[in-house]
Amino acid sequence: MDTIKYTLTEDQMPEFWYNIQADLPAPMPPVLHPGTGQPITPKDLEPLFPTQLIEQEVSQQRWIEIPDQVQSIYRQWRPTPLYRARRLEKALDTPAKIYYKYEGVSPAGSHKPNTAIPQAYYNKIAGVKRLITETGAGQWGSSLSLAGAFFGLEVVVYMVKVSYHQKPYRRAFMESYGARVIASPSNETEAGRNILKQYPDSNGSLGIAISEAVEVAVQDEQTKYALGSVLNHVLLHQTVIGIEALAQLEMAGDYPDIIVGCTGGGSNFAGIAFPFMSAKLKGDRDIKFVAVEPAACPTLTKGKYTYDFGDTAHLTPLVKMHTLGSSFVPQGFHAGGLRYHGMAPLLSHVVDLGLISAKAYGQLDCFAAGLTFARAEGILPAPEANHAVKGAIDEALRCKEEGASKTILFNLCGHGHFDMQAYMDYQAGLLRDTEYSSDEIAMALAGLPVISQ
Ligand SMILES: Cc1ncc(COP(=O)(O)O)c(C=O)c1O
């Protein structure tokens, strides 16, 4: 029988997250205080995050236990299935074997609840009453709203304005879980008002929405901030994806030569890649890791690896990452979750160590790949996930050209059921690709902070 789906039972779900920091050949550059330029201390982060998340942020421990209460909620949808894309392989007429890990089976429709649940849990046990966050595509906002409902926490979401208008059903979904959703930039914060004064028609960006959420969080002791990507603890929580995939590929008697994922802030890519990267770091396996990003927000392929702020209003600490500059506001293309000027510092560090290659694609090619995938496999991917689909299809076509029977694994990080307007616009020929000239990128980078390191 040609197996399609490799599934684990609930008692085979991982009990630990994998922390790649324990295995890296060089430590990450320190996070700097924006005022002093000196490395920050865990205390500096206390207004924003509960202690246990701060401990995870700086931990060098290889395996970190997943609390029982988190595991019992994870079991609502985990372990997620690993599929062998047999019909896609046939459609592409490739000798490559293609596997995808499907995270769209979570209640929110993506990988984001993998971190929303533990973040809400650690806040709850720390006595926090309210969580504030930003969302781009609405996947993260939905996930935190879901986690808030499970743990009895109030949730407020600053949703990037372009997505707020593109995706009214995502907003209604968050509100169904009990969250309050505000279009960003808003008049509710100083950061939002400043942007609106300068750019009354601003589409918003993740950098702006983060500024608004952080500004509100630091003003109230019972409120904390939650971030859906970028931070070390978020990448850590997502490693359940790769740990499960390792066991599922073992069931299939296979091992990946190539691992592909899309990158917005870097969390779903790290989630699938890091548990496999430990074998590469030990010299046991030679795996090619491909991070795929949008050409309209080309952080890894055209950004600079340097210190920058995580938000537009410069309220966050300075982190060393691949960045297009915190003032960079990408066009309103239809993969809201990938419209972030920076990249996870941990992933940036791993890219800098030469362990990952990056590629950028325009949205038209990505939607075309998404439809090829949907027609072969039946699942309609989120526009963000289409970037990974496109990357995997290109690798499979390269195998066809070379006559190489390689094994490709990619992360299908979410479904596109709330993204039908995007698909309708694509099919109606209304979407365009945006690329930035080197002058435009240089202008955005000119505003980078000067750090005397
Ligand atoms: C479905 C989906 N994929 C990917 C991303 C990008 O985030 P990350 O790179 O952290 O996985 C998002 C962000 O909102 C998303 O909603």
Task: State in words which class domain 5-10+77-109+235-431 has.
Answer: alpha beta
pLDDT at position 452 is: 62
Q: Which atom of ligand 1 is nearest to the CA of 338?
A: 6
Q: How far apart are CA 446 and CA 323, in angstroms?
A: 12
Identify the DSSP state of 270. Answer: H
104: CA distance to ligand 1 center in Å? 12
236: CA distance to ligand 1 center in Å? 15
Residue ranges of the domains in the chain? Answer: 5-10+77-109+235-431
Q: Average pLDDT in the 194-198 region? A: 96
User: CB of 101 within 8 A of CB of 80?
Assistant: yes
Q: Average pLDDT in the 190-200 region? A: 96
Instruction: Give residue 205's identity as a one-letter amino acid code.
Output: S
At 436, is the pLDDT very low, low, confident or very high (cuts 50, 70, 90)? confident
Using the predicted structure, report yes or no on whether residue 60 has a pLDDT greater than 90: yes
pLDDT at position 137 is: 86
From the list 415, 369, 374, 367, the residue with the least C-alpha distance to 391 is 369
Question: If you search the block for the tokens 């969302």, which residue do you land on?
Answer: 135
Residue of 80, 105, 159, 267 to mutate, ligand 1, most atoms within 8 A of C-beta:
267
At 299, is the pLDDT very low, low, confident or very high (cuts 50, 70, 90)? very high
Using the predicted structure, report yes or no on whether residue 356 has a pLDDT greater than 90: yes
| Residue 301 to residues 170, 324, 404, Cα–Cα distance (Å) | 30, 10, 27
Torsion sign over Cα 60, 63, 65, 70: positive
Average of per-residue pLDDT values in the chain: 96
pLDDT at position 9 is: 98
Using the predicted structure, report yes or no on whether residue 337 has a pLDDT greater than 90: no
Instruction: Give residue 217's identity as a one-letter amino acid code.
Output: A
- Hey, whose CA ends up nearest to atom 7 of ligand 1? 264
From the list 104, 103, 102, 85, the residue with the least C-alpha distance to 94 is 85
How many C-beta atoms lie closer than 10 Å to residue 279's C-beta?
Answer: 15
From the list 105, 112, 111, 157, the residue with the least C-alpha distance to 131 is 157
Structure tokens at 284: 């046991």
pLDDT at position 423 is: 97
Using the predicted structure, report yes or no on whether residue 219 has a pLDDT greater than 60: yes
Task: Decide whether any atom of ligand 1 lies within 6 Å of the 419 Cβ.
Answer: no
pLDDT at position 87 is: 98
| pLDDT tens string 74-94 | 999 999 999 999 999 999 999
Question: If you search the block for the tokens 């600053």, which residue do you land on?
Answer: 158
How many C-beta atoms lie closer than 10 Å to residue 341's C-beta?
Answer: 26
pLDDT at position 353 is: 96
| Residue 180 to residues 219, 246, 320, Cα–Cα distance (Å) | 18, 38, 32
Task: Decide whether any atom of ligand 1 lies within 6 Å of the 159 Cβ.
Answer: no
| pLDDT tens string 370-408 | 999 999 999 999 999 999 999 999 999 999 999 999 999
Length of the chain: 453
Strand partners, 5: 83
Across 118-205, the runs of DSSP E, i.e. the strands, are: 130-135, 154-160, 180-184
Strand partners, 82: 6, 101
Map residue 214 onto helix, strand or coil.
helix
User: CB of 414 within 8 A of CB of 382?
Assistant: yes
The CA-based angle 29-413-434, given to 5 degrees, is: 75
User: CB of 314 within 8 A of CB of 326?
Assistant: yes
| End-to-end CA gap in the chain | 60
Task: Decide whether any atom of ligand 1 lies within 6 Å of the 277 Cβ.
Answer: no
At 336, is the pLDDT very low, low, confident or very high (cuts 50, 70, 90)? confident
- Hey, whose CA ends up nearest to atom 10 of ligand 1? 267
Task: Decide whether any atom of ligand 1 lies within 6 Å of the 265 Cβ.
Answer: yes
How many C-beta atoms lie closer than 10 Å to residue 47's C-beta?
Answer: 15
Q: How far apart are CA 89 and CA 102, in angstroms?
A: 17
| pLDDT tens string 130-160 | 999 999 989 999 999 999 999 999 999 999 9
Percent of the chain with pLDDT over 90: 91
217: CA distance to ligand 1 center in Å? 23
pLDDT at position 333 is: 81
Structure tokens at 67: 């609390």
Using the predicted structure, report yes or no on whether residue 453 has a pLDDT greater than 60: no
Structure tokens at 382: 């989120």
Task: Decide whether any atom of ligand 1 lies within 6 Å of the 139 Cβ.
Answer: yes
Using the predicted structure, report yes or no on whether residue 288 has a pLDDT greater than 90: yes
pLDDT at position 189 is: 97
- Contacts of residue 450, defined as CB under 8 A and 6 or more positions apart, other chains included, come to none
